[in-house]
Amino acid sequence: MNPPGNVRLEGVVKQHGAFTALHGIDLEIQPGEFFALLGPSGSGKTTTLRILAGLEPVNGGRVLLDGVDVTDAQPGERDVAMVFQSYALYPHMTVAENIAFPLKMVRTPAAEIERAVNEAAAKVDIAHLLARRPGQLSGGQQQRCALARAIVRKPRLFLLDEPLSNLDAKLRVETRAELRRLQRSLGVTAVYVTHDQEEAMTMADRMAVFMEGRIIQVGTPKSIYLQPANVAVAAFIGTPPMNLLPAQLRDGTAVVAGASVPLRHEGAEARDVILGVRPGDLCIGQTGIPAIVEFVEDLGDSVIVNLQVGEQRLKARRDPQGPPLAEGQPVGLSFAPAAAHVFDRETGLRL
Amino acid sequence: MTASAVARARARRIALWLVAGLLLAVWAFPVLWGLLTSFKTERDVLAYPPVWLFEPTLNNYREVLFGSASIVPNLWSSLVVSTLTTALTMLFAVPAAYALARLNYPGKRGSGFYVLATQMLPPVGLIIPFYLVLQKVGLLDSYSGLTTIYLTFSLPFAIWLLVSYFEDIPYEMEEAALLDRAGRLRTLWYVILPQVRGGIAVTTIFVFLNAWNEFLFAVVLGGNNVRPVTVAMFNFISVEQTQWARLAAGAMLAMAPVIVIGLVAQRHIVKGLTVGAVKGGGRR
């Protein structure tokens, strides 16, 4: 049976020499949650995961698991399991021995080990590979083996460090769903590190967006997508990313490239802002912000139109059934007032 | 392929064989000459011009094995010193190499350099200090004394050879084991050591061979009790005469274990020498 698996980080600071990797991280993860740590490389997400695992000491703050301070506890004392990016399978052991290893280390009776290994292997579909060695497995199979080794001892916390990054694109998408299903069926808390926003969006119950050693925003993928806290998050989440345009805010409208577009920010004082619009929210017509069609990418189910507004490049997603657009064609861009994201140009914060 | 290309390829192969043959001859000549000499009588040895056809005799072997100048006790001495040295070296070198490769502790760089620096000292410069030390503590001409001195060069050698094997193992492997609740020691035992098995085998062989072949320290620090076979052979050379045939027979006997080990472990040794040359080439 799984202990609850509640995670709390309080003001966690991590320094590598003069470089500060984490500037005081506060985070709470609920039992049973699939929680993603999302951010570009070097943003501190993997460091946070390794601190949870106990593989990195902290320079300040506390780590609590189920209310118990484990800041100084050894990795083995925390009852957490981890799947490494490289899988870190033991090359000299068979798949069965790899999966059995965590149980063997706590002196589980042999019969119990065998039962648990078979059960874990069946869960990830590698029951037929138990006698092989990691070197004889494909990347996907190795990844499953690493998963089985992690779930076999029923940890209270499941840590995953970019486990899908070594798989090819097709397998990655398949494995996403499987991983999610597996985590649900086990009911275990999972913390998942990724730099792939699509992965985080599709898998996570909630996520934290990391930038330069700080958590910028925590929330459900939906809420972060709809209400990015600042320009950096807005630019990071969504494919293609959000269009960002310098604009002036004036009497509830934004002035972009000479055109005035209505917003919902009535009464706000006049200031320089950055206007963000998702590609899917941009409508291409005759009126609105003047733009030139650069080129068109047909994805089959949708079309990405690359546009130029002054010096700025924008992308718009539209229905492939719409009227055809020629390269160099002048068009007008518009969007619903509710679809606009407005950020302060100085601070980058959402207004 | 054109006819000229075929001819060129053949010429190149012949040249390669010639060079290889020449090198082999240069290397093998003393060994083969020694082997021939060991079956000659002393008279045939000194014949001039050298005789190529002679009546082989086993007398020299009989003499060095069972005669008054038997080297069997010396072979035993060599075996004891080499085995003791190898066992103790590996006992200390494995954990030391692991620590140097993996752990962070104050003075790590310094201790790493110290280990390397001890390898740079010319052994001949150490003989007199070693002699004085052993004399003071009363360990001249004793197994423990000579073994201790052998450790001073075999340990740094073994540590440096092993460090590269430990460094080859990804950190994550160890971290995975720590998370699997193995703890430091069991991680070393179950996860790390099995993966450096090859390196440990190679190092063991090298340390044993180095100790077995050692002469300089043995001749000065040994004596009547502890006289390894390398020193004993030297005794066939005296002021009055040099017993070349017996010396050769002794040398053949002393070389036998080295050659056997070399043949058995050939594959490992070649791998061991090229460790680090190719990424991951030394492991497994």
Domains and CATH numbers, chain A: 7-235 (3.40.50.300), 240-344 (2.40.50.140)
Q: Do residue A55 and residue B178 have CB atoms under 8 angstroms apart? A: yes
Provide the pLDDT for residue B198.
84
Give B 124-183 residues with CB within 8 A of chain A: 170, 172-173, 175-183
Per-10-residue mean pLDDT, chain B, length 284: 84 94 92 90 84 86 88 93 96 93 84 82 88 94 94 92 90 91 90 89 91 93 90 84 88 89 78 51 36
Provide the pLDDT for residue A321.
84
Helix (H) and strand (E) counts for chain A? Answer: 8, 20
**Residues of chain B contacting residue A92, judged by C-beta atoms under 8 Å apart:** 194-195
Strands A157-161 and A80-83: parallel
Chain A interface disruption, residue of B178, B179, B192, most A CBs within 10 A: B179
Q: How far apart are CA B159 and CA B100, in angstroms?
A: 9
- For tokens 């080129």, what's the residue? A295
Provide the pLDDT for residue B78.
95
Tokens, residue B11: 């010429």
pLDDT, tens digit, 9 for 90 and up, residues A28-47 = 999 999 999 999 988 999 99
DSSP B275: B
**Residues of chain A contacting residue B175, judged by C-beta atoms under 8 Å apart:** 53, 55, 75, 82, 84, 88
Give A 269-288 residues with CB within 8 A of chain B: none
What share of chain A has pLDDT > 70, as a percent?
98
B186 touches chain A (CB under 8 A): yes
| Structure confidence at residue A169 as a pLDDT band (50, 70, 90) | confident
Q: Do residue B175 and residue A84 have CB atoms under 8 angstroms apart? A: yes
| Structure confidence at residue A319 as a pLDDT band (50, 70, 90) | confident
Chain B interface disruption, residue of A80, A101, A153, A191, most B CBs within 10 A: A101
| A87: helix, strand or coil | coil
Q: Are A310 and A294 within 8 A, CB to CB?
A: no
Provide the pLDDT for residue A37.
95
Tokens, residue B79: 């075996």
A215 sits in which H/E element: strand A214-219
Provide the pLDDT for residue B217.
93
Domain B70-273 fold is MetI-like fold (1.10.3720)
Provide the pLDDT for residue B275.
53
Residue ranges of the alpha helices (H) in chain A?
45-53, 95-104, 110-123, 139-151, 169-186, 197-203, 221-226, 231-236
Q: Do residue A88 and residue B183 have CB atoms under 8 angstroms apart? A: no
Of the candidates A346, A340, A343, the one whose C-alpha atom is nearest the C-alpha of residue A261 is A340
Provide the pLDDT for residue A212.
92
**Residues of chain A contacting residue B170, judged by C-beta atoms under 8 Å apart:** 86, 88
Q: Do residue A102 and residue B180 have CB atoms under 8 angstroms apart? A: yes
Nearest to B173 among A77, A88, A102 (CB): A88
Strands A68-69 and A34-38: unpaired
Taking one residue from A and the other from B, the number of pairs with CB-CB distance under 8 angstroms is 59
Residues 6+ apart with CB under 8 A from A182: A123, A124, A147, A151
Lowest mean pLDDT among A46-55, A267-276, A337-346: A267-276
A225 touches chain B (CB under 8 A): no
φ, ψ for residue A33, nearest 5 deg: -75, 150
What is the residue extent of each domain of chain B?
Answer: 3-61, 70-273
pLDDT, tens digit, 9 for 90 and up, residues A185-229 = 988 999 999 999 889 999 999 999 999 999 999 999 999 999 999
Closest residue in A to B192 (Cα) is A90
Provide the pLDDT for residue B276.
46
Give A 75-104 residues with CB within 8 A of chain B: 75-77, 80-82, 84-86, 88, 90-92, 101-102
| Structure confidence at residue A279 as a pLDDT band (50, 70, 90) | very high
pLDDT at A267 over 80: no
Nearest to A102 among B181, B195, B284 (CB): B181
Is the preceding omega at residue B49 within 30 degrees of 0, hence cis? yes
Predicted ipTM beyond 0.90: no
pLDDT, chain A, mean: 90
Nearest to B180 among A91, A92, A105 (CB): A105
| Structure confidence at residue A1 as a pLDDT band (50, 70, 90) | very low
End-to-end alpha-carbon separation of chain B, Å? 39
Provide the pLDDT for residue B3.
81
pLDDT, tens digit, 9 for 90 and up, residues A170-197 = 888 888 988 999 999 988 999 999 999 8
Provide the pLDDT for residue A33.
94
